[in-house]
A = this chain, B = another copy of it.
Amino acid sequence: MSLIVQKFGGTSVGDVDRIRAVADHVARTRRQGHQVALVVSAMGKETDELLHLAETVSKTRPGREMDMLITAGERKAAALVTMALADLGVPGLSLTGSQAGFITDTTHRNAKILEIRTARIQEALDAGRVPVVGGSQGMSTESGDVTFLGRGGSDTTAVALAAVLKADVCELYTDVTGMYTADPAVVHNARRLLRLSFDELLEMTATGCPKPAMRAVEVARNNRVKLHVRSAFTWEPGTWVYEEDETMEQAIISAVTHDTSEAKVTVTRVPDRPGIAARLFRALADNDVNVDMIVQNVSMDGTTDISFTVPKESVARALEVSGSSDIGAGEVTADETVARVSLVGAGMKSNPGVAATMFETLARAGVNLEMISTSAIRISCVVRAAQVEEAVQLLHDAFELGAA
């Protein structure tokens, strides 16, 4: 008998029929002889609706109160799923994050899990019940307050729970059927990946792949939790993610990802003195601007140009911070018509020609590379936004990632 943690996202419990379908699937999993623990998100767009309600009611919106408000969503979903299970004769037990023993810090709206006290969940499992845990929530024992782990936090709840329960697998049910060699909406012959390493999945989520939440993948990697990313609409097997096995034959490239959510900021004529770049990026960090790629040009006449990418919603703040007198820069500009295309693959490490092939492929098509950054298993290029879908298709073809 294996223990499976199943997480169902908002779309998967979005209405009454979906909730019943989830209950059916859980009942079937139990009939196959498995123990099941569930984690559920809030139904459909409920979290967005609660956020909107709060914005309409209040300008200040204290974090503690926001968390109290938002966590109502997963609580409702957990109770409804448990009721649907009861109709099928499956004894369940809905649990808030607090009841499920998720102890967090007090960082409201973005709390970190410190500890999971599993006594109540373990007791339910031992009694043959299905614990149904509200995702993305916990409580701070320091303040006694309810906390919210942030958007996408249900993935983290599920993976962390699978880690402490030593579950055999953590199944992340979502509205996609798994991870693909490229976005199927862009590349017609994109292929579902049967298997990925944690590092590959991390690079993919970091470079534009929307699911699962990157934070959850990090927890999975650090705790070696085997993931199965799959669909709650088709129930077909999806993509498995587990510890890289060096003896396995490794595809050189696993996927081409792209991301159009960032803008490029360029700061010209920065004094090329030690500590200036540090001062710039410290100032950006202090202002909650999340910098991603950074490229610094070769120094000319004692000054240098620095380009970096930030989420589009942070552009205004990035311009303000970068242009402040502390930095002493010349001009600061932003360009929102850029996009990033990335190649991800664990096999890249031992195949030095990958970058060259990538650059040649894009050059032949007249795609100009404005920024480049690399890791051991990823190469990312910033290109014109208008050219990014073409670039994805070209690279997908060049590395023969498509379905046969």
Which A residues have a C-beta under 8 Å from some C-beta of B?
A: 16, 19-20, 50, 53-54, 56-62, 64-66, 68-69, 71-73, 75-76, 78-80, 82-84, 86-87, 92-94, 96, 99, 120, 144, 146
Residues B75 and A59 in contact, CB atoms below 8 Å apart: no
Q: This chain: how many copies in the complex?
A: 2
Per a CB cutoff under 8 Å, which of B58, B75, B82, B144 touches A83? B58
Taking CB atoms, residues of chain B closer than 8 Å to A73 are: 72
Contact A62:B80 (CB < 8 A) given known A57-B16, A57-B19, A68-B75: no
Contact pick for A94, options B19, B58, B65, CB 8 Å: B65
Q: Please measure, in the bound complex, the distance between the C-alpha atom of A87 and the C-alpha atom of B54, giving whole angstroms.
A: 12
Closest to A88 in B: B60
Do most interface residues of chain A lie in helix, strand or loop, or is the interface mixed? helix
Q: Quick check: A84 and B57 within 8 Å, CB to CB?
A: yes
Q: Are A82 and B99 in contact (CB under 8 A)?
A: no
Query: In the complex, A384 Cα to B237 Cα: how many Å?
Result: 67
Q: Closest residue of chain B to A73, judged by CB? A: B72
Which residues of B lie under 8 Å from residue A19 when comparing CB positions?
57
Which listed residue (B59, B72, B76, B94) contacts A87, Cβ 8 A? B59
- Residue pair B16, A53 in contact (C-beta under 8 Å): yes
In-complex Cβ contact of A68 among B59, B87, B94, B144 (8 A): B94
Q: Is the CB of A86 within 8 A of B72?
A: no
Contact A66 B79 (CB under 8 A): yes
- Tell me which of A59, A75, A79 has the highest count of chain B C-beta atoms within 10 A of its own C-beta: A79
Which of A56, A57, A80: most chain B CB closer than 10 A? A57
Check A120 against B99 for contact (C-beta < 8 Å). no
16 new A-B contacts, CB < 8 A, other than A60-B87, A64-B94, are A16-B56, A20-B57, A53-B76, A53-B80, A54-B79, A57-B83, A58-B80, A58-B83, A60-B83, A62-B83, A65-B92, A69-B75, A69-B80, A72-B75, A75-B75, A120-B144
User: Nearest Cβ distance between residue A104 and chain B, in whole angstroms?
Assistant: 16
Instruction: Using known A-B contacts A62-B86, A72-B75, A75-B68, determine if residue A80 contacts B94 with beta carbons closer than 8 Å.
Output: no
Complex contact B59–A82 (CB within 8 A): no
* Chain A to chain B contacts (Cβ below 8 Å), 12 pairs: A59-B87, A60-B86, A62-B86, A65-B80, A65-B82, A68-B79, A68-B94, A68-B96, A69-B75, A69-B80, A72-B75, A72-B79
Closest CB-CB distance, A67 to chain B, in whole Å?
8
- Expressed in whole angstroms, the Cα–Cα distance for A92 and B92 within the complex equals 35
Contact of A65 among B50, B53, B71, B83 (CB under 8 A): B83
Q: Find chain B residues with CB under 8 A from A78 CB.
A: 68
A167 and B309 CA atoms in complex are apart in Å by 57
* Closest CB in chain B relative to A113 CB, distance in Å: 20
Cα(A79)–Cα(B56), bound, Å: 13
A38 to chain B, nearest CB (A): 13
CB distance from A51 to the nearest CB of B (A): 12
Q: Which residues of B contact A58 (CB under 8 A)?
A: 80, 83-84, 86-87
Q: Which residue of B lies closest to A76 (CB)?
A: B72
**Distance to closest chain B CB from A142 (angstroms):** 14
Nearest CB in chain B: distance from A39 CB, A: 15
Instruction: Give the top 7 A-B pairs by smallest Cβ distance, nearest first.
Output: A58-B83, A69-B79, A68-B79, A72-B72, A60-B86, A65-B79, A65-B82
Chain B residues near A60 (CB-CB < 8 A): 83, 86-87
Closest-by-CB residue of B relative to A81 is: B57
